[in-house]
Chains A and B, each alone.
Chain A
Amino acid sequence: MSSKNIFGRSLDGAITSDDILGKDVFDSTGKFIGIAEKVFIDPINLSFLGIAVDKGFTRKGLTIGKGYIKNITSDAVMLNISVAFEMKGMEVFDNEGKSLGKVKSVNLRKNKNELISIEVSPGSLRKNIIIEKDDIQTIEENIILSIGKKELDLKNSELSNKDKSPKSSSIQN
């Protein structure tokens, strides 16, 4: 049954929240990210903000802004990015091919998909390693660095020394 329309313009081609909810979400490489479970709308200007993705029973959900959505098709929601959080659990190799451990956490810039650094867990009883974005050569199935383990250890020790040094106090007018 067709509904009455007081929209002021044709709704041909428009999609509804029902067309988004329950759809598979894929990143730019075709990786399955999860299932769209919520649609966010700005309560003031009523514009579409993004979606929430259900990643399964055991994993935390994910919200994705509309700027990262390439298109919404009849079958899925396609993203125009590779989701940085998906790096979690990936194996990290230095430029010699030595395995350094697995990604424990991902540090992003202001809730955007822009990577700052990753924290790698080399296993129990060993200190986690911080790796900056500039030292990463490849992020695909796993992560390959552009530097070796020795250089990385040096950078991490410098970083921990900085943290230990007394912070300078600021004087304000």
Chain B
Amino acid sequence: MKIIEAITAKSFSLDKSLSASKIVGLKVLSTSGFRVGYVKEVQLDLNANKEGLSVRRNIWKSSLFIGREYIERISQSGVFLSIFPSILWKGKNILTASGKVIGKVKDVQRKHISNNIESITLNAIFKKDVVIPVSAIKTWGNSVVLKNSYNVKQKYFWQKS
């Protein structure tokens, strides 16, 4: 095999690096072990020194772009994220502190395009959407559980606000 001559100002080891072609197709796992999808492309912005991965989900769902700052590590079999992507909360149940299912997460409002959530939108059948601030949420788990102190005021869509 021919030796590759390295020309770089920084120290660099070919053995410790992964080529982009080997990253494409790897599965992407969240901190909770959820299979987010598979790497579709490696995105580089050399001028802004920003990199990330675009992740292919299933045919019904749009692809995601995950910034480098949210990638914990890349191994030969998968990409581990340091987060649970906030947009994946969409569709999860919302429970009150007493365990009553009051609806589902319709939308997630984030700080700009980061993974930090500012609020979520509660959606329930025949009821108007309610925006719930992140400070009102006690647990982010299999469902979103609200704090005991937070009282959700849901109104039917025919009721005046």
Residues of chain A at the chain B interface (Cβ within 8 Å): 23-24, 26-32, 73-78, 90-91, 93-99, 138-144
The answer to whether B75 touches A95, judged by C-beta atoms less than 8 angstroms apart, is yes
* B11 CB within 8 Å of chain A: no
The answer to whether A30 touches B139, judged by C-beta atoms less than 8 angstroms apart, is yes
List of A residues within 8 angstroms of B100 by Cβ? 75-76
A30-B143, A93-B29 given; 6 more Cβ-contact pairs under 8 Å: A32-B93, A73-B97, A73-B99, A94-B77, A97-B77, A144-B29
List of A residues within 8 angstroms of B141 by Cβ? 28-31
Q: 20 A-B pairs, CB-CB below 8 angstroms? A: A26-B95, A26-B99, A26-B143, A28-B139, A29-B139, A29-B141, A30-B139, A30-B145, A31-B142, A31-B143, A32-B143, A73-B98, A76-B100, A78-B98, A91-B33, A91-B35, A95-B75, A96-B75, A140-B31, A144-B80
The answer to whether A141 touches B143, judged by C-beta atoms less than 8 angstroms apart, is no
List of B residues within 8 angstroms of A141 by Cβ? 30, 32-34
Closest to A24 in B: B99
Closest to A94 in B: B77
The answer to whether A143 touches B33, judged by C-beta atoms less than 8 angstroms apart, is yes
- Our pick among B30, B32, B80, B99 for the contact of A76 (Cβ within 8 Å) is B99
Q: Which residues of B56-80 are within 8 A (CB) of A?
A: 75-80
Given the contacts A26-B95, A75-B98, A96-B78, A138 and B144 also touching, CB distance less than 8 Å? no
Given the contacts A26-B143, A29-B143, A31-B141, A93 and B33 also touching, CB distance less than 8 Å? yes
Q: In the complex, A26 Cα to B96 Cα: how many Å?
A: 11
Q: In the complex, A140 Cα to B35 Cα: how many Å?
A: 12
* B130 CB within 8 Å of chain A: no
Q: Which residues of B105-142 are within 8 A (CB) of A?
A: 139, 141-142
Q: In whole Å, how far is B34's beta carbon from the nearest beta carbon of chain A?
A: 4
Give how many B residues have a beta carbon under 8 Å from the other chain's beta carbons: 29
- Our pick among B34, B76, B93, B99 for the contact of A75 (Cβ within 8 Å) is B99
Closest to A26 in B: B99
The answer to whether B76 touches A96, judged by C-beta atoms less than 8 angstroms apart, is yes
* B27 CB within 8 Å of chain A: yes
Q: In whole Å, how far is B125's beta carbon from the nearest beta carbon of chain A?
A: 17
The answer to whether A138 touches B33, judged by C-beta atoms less than 8 angstroms apart, is yes
The answer to whether A138 touches B99, judged by C-beta atoms less than 8 angstroms apart, is no
List of A residues within 8 angstroms of B80 by Cβ? 97, 144
- Our pick among B32, B77, B101 for the contact of A98 (Cβ within 8 Å) is B77
List of B residues within 8 angstroms of A95 by Cβ? 75
Residue among A74, A97, A99 facing the most chain B CB atoms (10 A cut-off): A97
Q: In the complex, A138 Cα to B33 Cα: how many Å?
A: 7
List of A residues within 8 angstroms of B139 by Cβ? 28-30
* B26 CB within 8 Å of chain A: yes
